[in-house]
Structure 1
Amino acid sequence: MDLHEYCSKELLMQHGIPVPHGVVVSSTQSVTAALKQLGTQDIVVKAQVLSGGRGKAGGVKLVSKAEVEPAVQAMLGSRLVTKQTTDAGLPVERVLLEEKTEIKQEFYLAMLLDREHKSITVLASKEGGVDIEAVAASNPEAMVQIVIHDAVYSYHIQTLGRKLGLDKSLYPALSDIVMKMYGVCMSSDVMMLEINPLVLTQSDQLICLDAKINIDQNALTRQTKLSAMRDFSQEDKDEVEADKYGLSYVSLDGNIGCMVNGAGLAMATMDMIKFCGGNPANFLDVGGDATEERVMHAFRIIGQDPNVKVILVNIFGGIVRCDLIAQGILSALKQVSLNKPVVVRLEGHNADLGRKLLLRSDLPLYANDSFKEAAVQAVQLSKEA
């Protein structure tokens, strides 16, 4: 789960990490009171959307005090399109107003959950405030990587400070920030904490000018305060709906809807569709114990995607019998009233009986016992639709 910038900075402040003074507003009526709290003449106006590249898309503006209200009015209610969003963009429902920071130098500083090392890894670079992926690709030696196995030690800070070219007088401030960032990661189930940029001000202070935090979604049941910060308006509506019913769903840009039980089989199904010349419209795992209710909701979610021309159901009957799965599919399709062809491949316990049940129905179903042939059939139907 991603946090908005203002939420990320609120979490950092709770841990004593320096960030610019700012106030978030959700209406133009709140601007006057916010400006009184800031008390400065030059204000940075930031659209709060869960996407990078806001500055280049017009979502970050430095304006005078008199220009703040028109800037906020222009952003609120709009949809910001960046290089990381779809063409539809993301809705701007909140705007962060911050005091201007006089910058001397910019750095990149992040902490990531490193599955390979089973630890937190620090990534840093002298080149902050830019596309860090491009820096890593074109100039990998500019990136510093330090694995933190159990705690942040002085030699970590010395290595980091030296690689960033900081004066030794700044090491204590750097140490304070890094140690507190590590504390945030450990206490809040953080997958990624990115500061870009971490800036050295003209008064030689280190401040986190921007912040992105991603929380492990599997830990939200114990991170209740952070869970309350989730902004569903920034997420794919179908993915949000699928999550309500325990479905693992990711929307893609193809035209063949997929319904599979098991993540590994789901990925193999998408690969087979591509191999046969088609394009999957989604990843959808209904779980090993696919129930009629889950299948019904899965069909409804896939069916409401206007790009989907055909649905490929690939089920392995291991935990549950294929004839029960077939009955569930028939019942679900009658409730959803789909007008798109459905190709079903069943394998496992009572697969033959399940296929007979499907073939006897009067629904637009195609039953198949071959994985590849089912994919070929789905691809062909998608091209004919």
Structure 2
Amino acid sequence: MNLHEYQAKELLREYAIPTPRGVVMENTLHAEVATNELGGSRWVVKAQIHAGGRGKAGGVRVVNSVDELRQVADELLGRPLVTYQNAPQGQPVLRVLVEETLAVARELYLSVLVDREKERIAVVASSAGGMDIEDVARSTPERILRELCDPLLGLQEFQCRALAFALGLRGTQVSELTRLLRNAYRLFVSNDLSLLEINPLVLTEDGRLVALDCKISVDDNALWRRPRLADLRDASQDDPKEAAAHAVGLNYIALDGNIGCMVNGAGLAMATMDLIKLHGGAPANFLDVGGGATAETVAKAFKIILSDPKVKAILVNIFGGIMRCDVIAEGIIQAVKEVGVEVPVVVRLEGTNVDLGRNMLAQSGLKILSAPSLTEAAQLAVAAACNEHGRRKP
């Protein structure tokens, strides 16, 4: 789960990590109040969306008057902002963050994340912070510095000093970065984060280190014990189908294909999507209905899948271990009748009472294609989607 920049910075300040002073606005009525609170004569207006690349997309602008602030905020609020990370639809801007401007001497990059290959928390830094950090990582990877943290000892001071010296910091800046890094590590661990990215971390002309921008992602699997963070979820930033699935407890991720997938088990879902791609198709989603799928769960899953207008066929791949195949077949039949599915549905069942489940599907009188194997199911789904796509062409 991602946080907005203003939410992330509130968390940074709780852990004594300096940020610019800012005010969040949901409309232009409070523009003068915001500028009076911040003081000065120049401010930065930042669109609040869960995507990177805002600066290049016009979502971060410097303004020099209250009138200009109102104009820019009015252009951003209530409209989708499209960046390279959320194209083509973009995400709606419901809030803007207005911040004081700082005299910046240098821009650095800092992140804390999980290195899954090393099974360690990693601290990553670079002297080339800013909007083009991805290009730096690709073209000059030697400029990306990394320290792996011991699971028991955590991030040590000597590692922080090594990063500070490698970044070209000197004097009190070394101890300041050490303190900032250790606070960032503590924030990361204490809140079950999956990513903490400060880009840029700026060195101001008066020698201070300030987090000018911040992105925080929380591990979804830990939200049950982080209710305060869970309450910060902004459903407007999610794909509507993903938000609907989250509301009913389904694991759904929208993709760009035209074959809807309904599977029980994340591993089986990945294998199902791989087989669809192998046979020339493209999955429209990842959807794990879980091991205890019921008729109600299946019906909700069908509704979410069919809310995607790109879907031309649905592949249901269920392994009946905890749940018997006849119970699953009954749920599929009820769901197809209830939802009124008009696209082809391919079902592959395996497990307990599989023959009974297949017979129930065959005798249902519905246009459900039963497949004995996953390979055949994928082939049927790809063929059905192609036929449906051709049939529906104007």
Question: Which bracket does the TM-score occupy, shorter chain normalised?
Answer: over 0.9
Does the 8 Å contact 1:258/1:311 carry over to 2? yes
Residue 360, structure 1, aligned to residue 363, structure 2: yes
Q: Is the CA contact (8 Å cut-off) linking 1:48 and 1:93 kept in structure 2?
A: yes
Which residue number corresponds to residue 143 of structure 2? Answer: 142
The question of 1:7 aligning with 2:10 is answered: no
Match of 2:114 in 1: 113
For 1:276-315, list aligned pairs within 5 A. Answer: 276-315=279-318
- By how many angstroms is 1:77 displaced? 0.8
> What is the count of residue pairs matched by the alignment?
385
2:91 corresponding residue in structure 1: 90
For 1:25, the aligned partner's letter is: M
1:117 Cα deviation from its structure 2 partner:
3.8
Percent of pairs with identical residues = 50
| C-alpha contact (below 8 Å) 2:125/2:144 kept by paired residues | yes
Output the CA distance in 2 between the equivalents of 1:89 and 1:245.
25
Q: Which residue is 1:208 aligned to?
A: 211
Which 5+ residue runs of structure 1 have no aligned equivalent?
none
Deviation at 1:203?
0.8
Does 2:133 correspond to 1:132? yes
* Residue identity opposite 1:126 in structure 2: S
SS, match of residue 51 in structure 1:
coil
Q: Cα deviations across residues 274-306 of structure 1 (Å, max 9, x unaligned)?
A: 111111111111112221111111111111210
More displaced stretch, 10-19 vs 216-225: 216-225
Give the Cα separation in 1 of the matches to 2:230 and 2:261: 29
Is contact 1:126–1:142 with CA below 8 Å preserved after alignment? yes
Q: What is the aligned partner in structure 1 of residue 27 from structure 2?
A: 27
8 Å Cα contact 2:161-2:175 kept in structure 1:
no
Query: 1:49 is aligned with what amino acid?
Result: I
CA distance in 2, matches of 1:94, 1:325: 44
- Indicate if the aligned counterparts of 1:40 and 1:65 stay in contact, CA closer than 8 A: no
Q: Distance in 2 between matches of 1:257 and 1:384?
A: 15
2:33 matches 1:36: no
Unpaired segments of 5 or more residues in structure 2?
A: 389-394
Give the CA RMSD over aligned residues: 1.1
For the Cα contact (< 8 Å) 2:280–2:382, is it kept in 1?
A: yes
Query: How far apart are 1:349 and its partner, in Å?
Result: 1.4
Aligned to 2:391: none
What is the Cα deviation at residue 119 of structure 1? 3.2
CA apart distance, 1:183: 1.5
Report SS of the residue matched to 1:12: helix
User: Any conservation in 1 of the 2:348–2:377 contact (CA below 8 Å)?
Assistant: yes
Q: What amino acid does structure 2 have at the position aligned with 1:103?
A: V
Who is 2:392 aligned against?
A: none
Quote the Cα distance in structure 2 between the aligned partners of 1:182 and 1:370: 48
- Deviation digits for residues 109-166 of structure 1 (CA, Å, limit 9, x no counterpart): 0101233444321000010003323222211110111012123322112210111111
Per-residue CA shift, 1:10-40, capped at 9, x if unaligned? 1111111100011111011111111110011
- CA distance in 2 between counterparts of 1:270 and 1:120 reads 30
Matches within 5 A, 1:207-356: 207-356=210-359
Q: Could you say what secondary structure the match of 1:105 adopts?
A: strand
**Contact 1:197/1:208, CA 8 A, preserved across alignment:** yes
Measure the CA separation in 2 of the matches of 1:225 and 1:315: 36
In the TM superposition, what is the alpha-carbon distance from 1:192 to its structure 2 partner?
A: 0.7
Give the deviation of 1:371 after TM superposition: 1.5
